């Protein structure tokens, strides 16, 4: 009965999330339902105040700086004109003859530099409409092109990417955002390569059928710039380079040579190996924000409004994910979860990578969120996977990369908030565009994930 209660709760969570109910209210209600159906009514209120809220608060404490600085940096990039300047430069170099590749690379450059997925979608969409119209490529393919550049290899595969998905495993496995760089690059090449093959094939089929762009009522104009339309390319690229460069400097050059013994005396419960990866990312994002503000100090139309908008923008994504973590903590506290946990861990007892991939992908699909699904899975099973990996000789870095790749393989099912928002930005429907989105954000990442698991099993982390 306890296991059935959990399954019913998860299915209802997915159902109502697809209907647009906010997870802020949905997560505690579904957690309470699981407790009631499992027959533990007497612990309903303690499960909320002690388990749900403790897990939610712990997640907020751990990842608030990453969400805050990431949202602020994305807003600064958008309002400074840096995002548009970089997108326009790529457009000028590749042009409408390579419209799909131009859109994908523009999104990839911005997201790998730390710009929010949604900021990128808003910035690149008007450019994409102009390019696709000129090239005669159907508008219905624009969401898939944006998703390929934003939701796949730059979010989960490329080493050093500052995405929250790549940061979440750090405190669980004691890794950093550059974990398993060789395998990450291989996965990125697979996703980008196969994704482009799919997109070009679909565009070619539409061209042969004489479909054209469609929706002629749109003007397809290039977007307006940010506060200063004349932002030089060098200044636009510098903050993106700082995010990756400063992160790498502290990860490999500074923190490994620091003596943390004095810190250990005051914070005995802090393991430097589990937090320095987060510290490096925080320093990198903060540095990029400060430098971007300073470089454009005399060109901001209203710096205060930009900062406020960026800071306010982090709250909903953070608390959405934290609420899902709280839900996962309640589920993990129920007796029925032991059966589910053992079943998942026994999928491939001699290769925890397979079990980990299934757990991350399944929960990401149910919650419609890569960060939410991975957070739930790691909070409930992270220590088990680390112990299994130690017994089988699998490195934490490989666990990290597989976890991140798996979380990004099933997170874009139709009820995903990111997909619903992207289609809204592009003013398209699931019926018209979701098939291509699914191909590039589910099918290709799954192929990349399977490849990484196979290579990691044979050769280890590299």
Radius of gyration of the chain (CA): 22
**What are the CA-CA distances from residue 138 to residues 90, 93, 210, 342 (Å)?**
21, 22, 10, 47
Q: What is the total count of domains within the chain?
A: 1
* 432, two tokens: 């018209």
**What pLDDT is attached to residue 158?**
96
Residue 191 CA neighbour count, 13 Å, CB half = 38
- Tell me, yes or no, whether 218 lies in a domain: no
How would you write 366-430 as a 3-class SS string?
A: HHCCHHHHHHHHHHHHHHHHHHHHHHHCCCHHHHHHHHHHHHCCCCCCCCCHHHHHHHHHHCCCH
**What pLDDT is attached to residue 216?**
52
Q: Which residue has the tokens 């807003």?
A: 75
* 414, two tokens: 């139709």
Q: Which domain covers residue 30, as residue numbers?
A: 1-211+232-459
- Tell me, yes or no, whether 222 lies in a domain: no
* 200, two tokens: 């070009």
Kindly report the pTM of this predicted structure: 0.80
CA dihedral 95, 98, 104, 109 (to 10 degrees): -40
* 362, two tokens: 């399944």
How far is 382 from 23, CA to CA, in rounded Å?
A: 23
**What pLDDT is attached to residue 217?**
43
- Tell me, yes or no, whether 217 lies in a domain: no
Reduced DSSP (H G I as helix, E B as strand, rest coil) percent helix, strand, coil of the chain, to 5: 75, 0, 25
Tell me phi and psi for residue 71, to 5 degrees.
Answer: -65, -40
- Tell me, yes or no, whether 16 lies in a domain: yes
| CB-CB neighbours of 320 under 10 Å | 19
| CB-CB neighbours of 298 under 10 Å | 6
**What pLDDT is attached to residue 221?**
47
DSSP state of 265: H
**What pLDDT is attached to residue 91?**
77
**What are the CA-CA distances from residue 387 to residues 141, 236, 345 (Å)?**
44, 44, 11
CA 402 to chain centre: 14
Containing 2, the helix (H) or strand (E) segment is helix 2-18
- Tell me, yes or no, whether 182 lies in a domain: yes
223 exposure class (CB count in 10 Å sphere: 0-12, 13-18, 19+): middle
- Tell me, yes or no, whether 99 lies in a domain: yes
**What pLDDT is attached to residue 14?**
75
Average pLDDT, the chain: 87
How far is 66 from 311, CA to CA, in rounded Å?
A: 11
Query: Mapping DSSP to helix (H, G, I), strand (E, B) and coil, where does residue 39 land?
Result: coil
pLDDT, averaged in runs of 10, over the chain (462 residues): 86 78 88 92 91 91 88 85 82 82 92 80 81 90 96 95 92 94 98 98 94 66 47 86 91 90 79 86 93 88 90 83 85 84 82 93 82 87 92 95 95 80 83 93 97 96 94
CA 388 to chain centre: 26
How far is 101 from 149, CA to CA, in rounded Å?
A: 9
How far is 183 from 165, CA to CA, in rounded Å?
A: 17
Output the DSSP codes for 58-123.
Answer: HHHHHHHHHHHHHHHHHHHHHHHTHHHHHHHHHHHHH-GGGHHHHHHHHHHHHHHTT--HHHHHHH
CB distance 33 to 21 below 8 Å? no
**Residues 6+ positions from 122 with CB-CB distance below 8 Å:** 78, 425
């Amino acid at each position: 009965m306890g296991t059935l209660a959990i399954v019913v709760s998860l299915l209802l969570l997915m159902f109502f999330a697809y209907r647009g109910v906010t997870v802020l209210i949905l997560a505690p209600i579904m957690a309470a339902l699981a407790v009631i159906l499992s027959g533990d009514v007497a612990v309903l209120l303690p499960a909320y105040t002690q388990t749900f809220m403790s897990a939610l608060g712990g997640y907020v404490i751990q990842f608030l700086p990453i969400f805050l600085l990431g949202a602020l940096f994305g807003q600064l990039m958008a309002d400074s004109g840096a995002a548009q300047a970089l997108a326009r430069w790529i457009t000028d170099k590749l042009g409408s003859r390579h419209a799909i590749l131009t859109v994908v690379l523009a999104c990839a450059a911005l997201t790998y530099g730390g710009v929010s997925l949604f900021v990128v979608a808003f910035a690149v969409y008007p450019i994409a409409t102009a390019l696709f119209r000129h090239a005669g490529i159907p508008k219905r393919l624009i969401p898939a092109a944006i998703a390929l550049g934003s939701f796949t290899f730059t979010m989960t595969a490329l080493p050093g990417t500052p995405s929250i998905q790549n940061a979440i495993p750090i405190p669980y496995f004691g890794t950093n955002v550059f974990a398993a760089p060789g395998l990450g690059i291989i996965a990125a090449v697979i996703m980008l390569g196969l994704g482009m093959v799919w997109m070009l094939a679909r565009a070619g089929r539409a061209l042969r059928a004489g479909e054209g762009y469609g929706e002629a009522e749109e003007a397809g104009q290039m977007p307006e710039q940010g506060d200063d339309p004349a932002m030089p390319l060098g200044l636009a690229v510098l903050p993106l380079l700082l995010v990756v460069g400063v992160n790498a400097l502290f990860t490999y050059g500074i923190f490994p040579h620091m003596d943390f013994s004095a810190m250990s005396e005051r914070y005995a419960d802090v393991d430097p190996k589990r937090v320095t990866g987060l510290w490096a990312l925080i320093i990198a994002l903060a540095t990029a924000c400060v430098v971007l503000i300073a470089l454009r100090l005399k060109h901001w139309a209203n710096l205060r409004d930009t900062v406020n908008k960026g800071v306010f923008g982090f709250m909903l994504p953070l608390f959405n994910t934290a609420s899902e973590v709280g839900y996962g903590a309640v589920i993990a506290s129920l007796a029925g979860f032991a059966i589910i946990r053992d079943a998942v861990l026994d999928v491939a007892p001699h290769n925890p990578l397979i079990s980990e991939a299934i757990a991350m992908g399944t929960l990401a699909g149910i919650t419609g969120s890569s960060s939410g699904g991975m957070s739930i899975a790691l909070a409930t099973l992270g220590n088990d996977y680390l112990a299994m990996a130690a017994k089988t000789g699998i490195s934490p870095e490989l666990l990290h990369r597989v976890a991140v790749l798996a979380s990004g393989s099933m997170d874009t099912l139709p009820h995903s908030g990111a997909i619903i928002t992207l289609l809204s930005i592009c003013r398209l429907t699931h019926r018209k565009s979701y098939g291509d989105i699914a191909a590039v954000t589910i099918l290709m990442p799954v192929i990349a994930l399977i490849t990484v698991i196979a290579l990691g099993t044979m050769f280890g982390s590299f």
